Structure 1
Amino acid sequence: MPSTPAGSADVAGRRVVITGAGRGLGRVLAQAFDAAGARLGLVARSEDALKEVAGTLQGDPLVLAGDVRDEGFNESVAEAMVERYGAVDAWICNAGVSPGVAAVTDTSADAWREVIDVNLTGTFLGARAGAAVMGAGGRIIVTGSVLGDRPKGGLAAYSASKSGVQSLVGALAQELGPRGITVNTVALGWFDTGLGAHWRRSAERDSGIVEHTALGRWGTPDDLPGIYLFLASESSAYVTGTTITVDGGYSLL
């Protein structure tokens, strides 16, 4: 008999990297995976933010401050995980930036490059570093967005970066599948963090999102961790190269 019932999302003991773990969704994921018994490596630019998050956890995570756009830093994260835990079982590419709303004509080249470099190049470098130290059963999970499929005016760079992420995930899934490593995207709808928090400051935009969402509300932190826990577990062994949308039905309307 299997030790874990089919359909469960058991990640106890699994060695998991979470990027962008200093705030927002990354913080929520760190707390959820810690509560589920995973052994963590937390990544963000701010060491102080990571230490604050680590202080809320039961376990003793690795705290790894640096820039996901840096190739050497990603490789050092993988090395640190191997040194501490022996390997990596799951790498959650969650780090991202959410720019302010701006027309293309008002978006500087530097602003464009930052979004693409963090959201897309950072994902590529993290996934590559994680795959190098994973064996069969490894999991790469990427935080995407419904805007990858449904681009929105004023958010050209963000939409383009998230569309690129979905294509990258498909390519990685094909390459890593023969090694037993799965790669998937979680496409988020509108949550009251990051870009969503900025969008929600406008009463008109706030109500527009609610009216455009089948469940008639914004997402909450409680809506987030379940799908990541599932994708990091053995129960998702036959799920790869796909996008799982968590948007309360925003994409339907």
Structure 2
Amino acid sequence: MTRNVLIAGAGPGVSGSLARLYAAEGGSVGLLGADEDVLTQLRSDLEAAGAVAGSAVVDLTDDAATRHAVTRMGEQRGHLDVVHFNPSAYREKDPLSLTPDELLEDVRLGVGALLSVVQAARPFMGPGGRITVTGSMAADSPWFGAASLGVQKAGVQNLVHSIDAALAGDGIRAVSVTVRGLLKKDGPFAPDNVARALRAAIEQDEADWRAEIPYTG
């Protein structure tokens, strides 16, 4: 099935692997991210593989800019079948050195930006639409040395449950895939394998839908 896919927080890791996976299926992929060089390279890779791809540099913590970029991607494609949310902020500070402002800044990216993306994408999504999020074991097993990451992952996991409940009546479902392991270049937690788990999550039977799925490799 050919899909129009939007990936927010696109980069060279899991999100890049997911973009290539959907492109290999013939999907049209829109990329939103902060690093122009990374986006250019990823878009070039997708186009070289014969896929239709678009990209836009955007600061996802900027609500107005994010909504504009998502709307533009939706208008270009006519509709969106899959929206994937990937970003998080990694700040190596423990709870005794992390400031409230730093925590809020990180949560603005790792959690709050999901609202900007989903609300802007909603007019372009219909029954069968899917929203996926890259989750992490940091949600319930945080490392104190990067305290804000655990807060972000717990928050976004919780928010996905609310988004799924709010949209289920319209036939649109949301799911976070909790990666229970450290990302590595090779092995079960290589980006390509995590991307496959995210891709598989949208094929759930709606009657037994789960808004959070653990990936244990």
Q: Does residue 230 of structure 1 match 2:206?
A: no
Shift of 1:113: 2.3
Q: Which amino acid aligns with 1:228?
A: L
Q: Cα distance 1:172–1:240, how it changes in 2: closer, same or farther (>3 A)?
A: farther
Work out whether residues 170 and 242 of structure 1, in 8 Å CA contact, stay in contact via their aligned partners in 2.
yes
Is the aligned partner of 1:76 residue 2:68? yes
Alignment partner of 1:92 is 2:61: no
1:24 matched residue in structure 2: 13
Unmatched 5+ stretches in structure 2: none
Between Structure 1 and Structure 2, whose CA radius of gyration is higher?
1
Identity of aligned residues (%): 26
Match of 1:127 in 2: 118
Q: CA deviation at 1:188?
A: 1.2
Contiguous gaps of at least 5 residues in structure 1: 1-11, 198-216, 249-253
Give the SS at the match of 1:187. strand
Correspondences of 1:35-74 after superposition (within 5 Å): 35-57=24-46, 58=49, 59-74=51-66
Question: 1:23 offset after TM fit, Å?
Answer: 2.1
Aligned to 1:204: none
Report the CA distance between 1:172 and its aligned residue.
1.0
- Is this contact kept in 1: 2:157–2:176, CA < 8 A? yes
Q: CA offset at residue 218 of structure 1? A: 6.6
Q: TM-score, normalised by structure 1?
A: 0.77
- In the alignment, is the contact (CA less than 8 A) between 1:120 and 1:164 conserved in 2? yes
Q: Show the counterpart of 2:189.
A: 219
Cα drift, residue 104 of structure 1: 0.9
Query: How big is each residue's C-alpha offset from its partner over 1:86-117, in whole Å with a ceiling of 9 and x where there is no partner?
Result: 111111011222222x3211113343122211
RMSD of aligned Cα (Å): 2.1
Secondary structure of the 1:69 match is: coil
Q: Does 1:154 align with 2:145?
A: yes
| Residue 245 of structure 1 pairs with residue 214 of structure 2 | yes
Amino acid across the alignment from 1:246: Y
Contact 2:134 2:198 in 1 (8 A): no
Per the alignment, do residues 72 and 104 of structure 1 end up closer, same or farther by CA in structure 2, a change over 3 Å counting?
same
1: distance between equivalents of 2:36 and 2:205?
A: 32
| 3-state secondary structure, aligned to 1:224 | helix
Query: 1:155: how far off?
Result: 2.6
What are the Cα deviations for residues 219-252 of structure 1, in whole angstroms up to 9, with x where unaligned? Answer: 212321222222345x55445452111133xxxx
**Which residue pairs with 2:4 in the alignment?**
15
Instruction: Give the CA deviation at 1:179.
Output: 0.4
Corresponding residue of 1:207: none
